[in-house]
Amino acid sequence: DTEVTQTPKHLVMGMTNKKSLKCEQHMGHRAMYWYKQKAKKPPELMFVYSYEKLSINESVPSRFSPECPNSSLLNLHLHALQPEDSALYLCASSHFGGINNSPLHFGNGTRLTVT
Residues near another protein (CB under 8 A) are 2, 31, 40-43, 45, 48, 50, 55-56, 88, 90, 92, 96-101, 103-109, 111
- Say which amino acid occupies 87: A
For another protein, the closer of residues 64 and 110 by Cβ is: 110
* 34 neighbors 74 (Cβ within 8 angstroms): yes
Nearer to another protein, 16 or 53 (CB): 53
30/77 Cα distance (integer angstroms): 20
Question: What is the smallest separation between the CB atom of 46 and another protein, expressed in angstroms?
Answer: 11
Rounded to a whole number of angstroms, the minimum distance from the CB of residue 21 to another protein is 13
Minimum CB distance to another protein smaller for 64 or for 94: 94
Burial class (CB in 10 A: 0-12, 13-18, 19+), 14: exposed
Pick the closer one to another protein by CB: 15 or 27.
27
Minimal distance, residue 53 CB to another protein, in Å: 12
Burial of 9 (0-12, 13-18, 19+ CB in 10 A): exposed
Cβ at position 77, least distance to another protein in Å: 21
Cβ neighbours of 58 (radius 10 Å): 12
